[in-house]
Amino acid sequence: MFSSFQGDPTQLPSLTLAYIGDGVYELYVRNSLIEKGHVRVQNLHKEAIKRVNATLQARLLERIEGQLTETERAVARRGRNAKSGHVPKNTEVTEYRKSTGLETLIGYLFLKGEFSRIDEFLSQIEEIVEQ
């Protein structure tokens, strides 16, 4: 299902990396919820919404920034500074940009095949949700 990306992900536009990162993030959350025993669709959706939103993603990026390599930090910064032209209602611009930075980073790591690094970062979601 997943083929390895042959190019250099740093050469892709930031919003392209964010696009793939958004999908990877959502899939990670859904899989994590099912692993935890959430199987009723209503509960899955409710729990997913708590984890898939700009506010939580911005907080996660802030939390992991000290753990990033120089390259990862640059990728996240590129994503944060990208102009998408669209900020959802009820979302602060700064939060939305940080969440885009996180999605860009996740997309970059996914295309590099660094799945353990994605796990390392996204495993911290639950700690943030419980705060």
Amino acid at 111: L
- Known catalytic residue: 119? no
The encoded tokens of residue 28 equal 């990670």
Give Cα 57 to chain centroid, integer Å.
Answer: 6
Residue from 9, 12, 22, 107 carrying the catalytic annotation = 22
Please tell me the chain's helix, strand, coil percentages from 3-state DSSP, rounded to the nearest 5: 75, 0, 25
Contact call for residues 18 and 104 (beta carbons, < 8 A)? yes
Terminal-to-terminal C-alpha distance of the chain: 36
Residues that are catalytic: 22
